[in-house]
Amino acid sequence: MLAERLEEEWLADFEERKSTLARLRFGVGCAWATRVIAHEYLEPKVAAASANGAAVATSNYRGPDYSFVSRRMVAVLGIIGLHALIIYGFATGLMHNVFVKIVAPIMVVPTTPRVIDRPPPLPTDPAMQRQIPLIDSDLPRFEVENDAAPQAVADVQPTLTQPVDPVVPPPPAVHRVGGGPGKGFPNSSDFYPPAEIRARVEGTTGVNVCTDEHGRLTAAPTIVKSSGSAGLDQGALRLAKAGSGRYRASLEDGRPVSSCYSFQVTFNLRD
Amino acid sequence: MGKQDRSVRMSLQTLRTLEAFLENPTDELSGSDVQKRSGLASGTLYPILLRLESAGWFVSRWEAVDPASVGRPRRRLYRLTPSGLARASEVFASFGRGVLAT
């Protein structure tokens, strides 16, 4: 009865609104009014007022159930229960057990130990072991005399310790190849001093250089044998400096190493 | 009136609804008319109308027209009852004294 009345009443009021927005607002308001009216008219006091002769008959209206255990109340109780369950789980350690069951524990798998190939120990040569001779102590004995308070003087027996040289194995034989000017080394004619060319001076200069394993100079080259001409010697030094990086490094057992070596620079006039 | 009046909660919205009727107490107003005078939303107004009607402040009736002839549903018209008018007058008078009647 009430629902039919409100429906007709609201439809009449709805028709009086022309704009879409006004009708939309009216419809939303009526939806809210439905919930409010249903909530109020299902209460016992309103039912009593209706039975007392009020104008509105509500006995036939049955809307949503707004009893104590409503859907909202169920949701709230569910959330509270879920929180209580989580707190209980943390408090009693159940969460840890569940976590361990869900997530597999980390397994440590032992692996076979890595075998490192070590060179065999060097053979010990009995001939290389030194025999340490015993030294007889002929040092004088000191005696201290004290008239005032004679005391027992202990004999001082100095002990001599002789440092023992560690057994140094002989260095193994190394196959060594000396270095020298390598591929791409500058030509001596490019460093022939013009003054010596005009004077037609020729000669050979011995130069000593120190290079690293890459053939680069590690120190300034020096003259080990003069040609007799200062100009040619200077030209040989400039040539040796210009050839840095072009030297062929010395080899020890096939490995390039840093070393010092000498070579000759010859200046000849080509007629 | 006494027992019914106690069920009415005298809120600001209820006062505005009563004020719309007190402009001319003998008028019969539809819900749309009250809404225009009071400015209340429909979700607020209709529960108040039903509440006051249940408490005996208002009486209502259907508009005496034929929906088929006028081409629209009938309107529900509300009117203050004599007791409702007296009680509403007391409520607004108590506001002048600074006491809210409940």
Confidence band of A46 (pLDDT split at 50, 70, 90) = very low
Enter the DSSP assignment of B24.
S
Do residues A218 and A260 share a domain?
A: yes
Residue with tokens 């005496």, as numbered in its chain: B64
Strand partners, A222: A208
Q: Is residue A12 part of a domain?
A: yes
| C-alpha gyration radius of chain A | 56
Cβ-based contacts of A30 with chain B (< 8 Å): 42-43, 46
CB distance B42–A54 less than 8 Å? no
pLDDT for B29 equals 92
Give the neighbor-by-neighbor strand order of the sheet with B58-62. Answer: B29-30, B76-80, B58-62
Do residues A185 and A214 share a domain?
A: yes
Among the partner-chain residues B3, B7, B43, the one whose CB lies closest to the CB of A32 is B43
pLDDT one-digit tens code per residue, A178-196: 888 888 898 888 899 999 8
Whether pLDDT at B2 is above 50? no
Do residues A185 and A255 share a domain?
A: yes
Cβ-based contacts of B53 with chain A (< 8 Å): 54-56
A28-37, A82-91, A130-139, A192-201: the lowest-pLDDT one = A130-139
Q: Is residue B102 part of a domain?
A: no
Tokens, residue A162: 């002789």
d(CA B80, CA A234): 131
Residue with tokens 């140094």, as numbered in its chain: A168
Whether pLDDT at A230 is above 50? yes
HSE-up (13 A, CA, CB side) for residue A164 = 9
Do residues A17 and A83 share a domain?
A: no
Cβ-based contacts of B45 with chain A (< 8 Å): 29, 33
> Across residues A45-55, what is the average pLDDT?
49
Class of residue A80 by CB neighbours under 10 A (exposed 0-12, middle 13-18, buried 19+)? exposed
d(CA A120, CA A142): 53
Q: Tell which of B50, B57, B80 to mutate to test the A interface (max A CBs under 10 Å).
A: B50
Whether pLDDT at A238 is above 90? yes
Q: Is residue B28 part of a domain?
A: yes
pLDDT for A73 equals 83
pLDDT for B3 equals 44
Torsion of CA A233, A238, A239, A241, to 10 degrees: 130
Do residues A196 and A233 share a domain?
A: yes
pLDDT for A176 equals 83
CB distance B41–A45 less than 8 Å? no
Range of the domain at A91: 71-102
Do residues A253 and A199 share a domain?
A: yes
Phi, psi angles (nearest 5°) of residue A222: -130, 155
pTM, to two decimals: 0.40
Enter the DSSP assignment of A126.
G
Range of the domain at B13: 2-97
Q: Is residue B19 part of a domain?
A: yes
Among the partner-chain residues B43, B63, B73, the one whose CB lies closest to the CB of A30 is B43
A4-8, A83-87, B42-46: the lowest-pLDDT one = A4-8
Do residues A192 and A260 share a domain?
A: yes
Distance from CA of B97 to the nearest CA of A (A): 31
CB distance A12–B73 less than 8 Å? yes
Q: Is residue A60 part of a domain?
A: no
CB distance B74–A8 less than 8 Å? yes
Whether pLDDT at A36 is above 90? no
pLDDT for B1 equals 41
Distance from CA of B32 to the nearest CA of A (A): 5
- CB of A46 less than 8 A from some CB of B: yes
Mean pLDDT of all residues belonging to chain B: 84
HSE-up (13 A, CA, CB side) for residue A30 = 18
Q: Is residue B27 part of a domain?
A: yes
pLDDT for A161 equals 56
- CB of A28 less than 8 A from some CB of B: yes
CATH code of the domain in which B22 resides: 1.10.10.10
For the ranges A83-97, A139-153, B72-86, the one whose mean pLDDT is highest: B72-86
State the total domains in chain A.
Answer: 3
d(CA B87, CA B93): 10
Do residues A36 and A92 share a domain?
A: no
State the total domains in chain B.
Answer: 1
pLDDT for A140 equals 57
Q: Is residue A199 part of a domain?
A: yes
More confident residue, B23 or A121: B23
A29-33, A82-86, A103-107, A196-200: the lowest-pLDDT one = A103-107
pLDDT for B58 equals 92
- ∠ CA(A167), CA(A168), CA(A174), 5° rounding? 155
Instruction: Say if residues B61 and B81 touch (Cβ distance below 8 Å).
Output: no
CB distance B75–A12 less than 8 Å? yes
pLDDT for A270 equals 75
Residues 6+ apart with CB under 8 A from B42: A10, A13, A25, A26, A29, A30, A33, B31, B35
Q: Tell which of A1, A13, A35, A61 to mutate to test the B interface (max B CBs under 10 Å).
A: A13
A44-53, A114-123, A252-261: the lowest-pLDDT one = A44-53
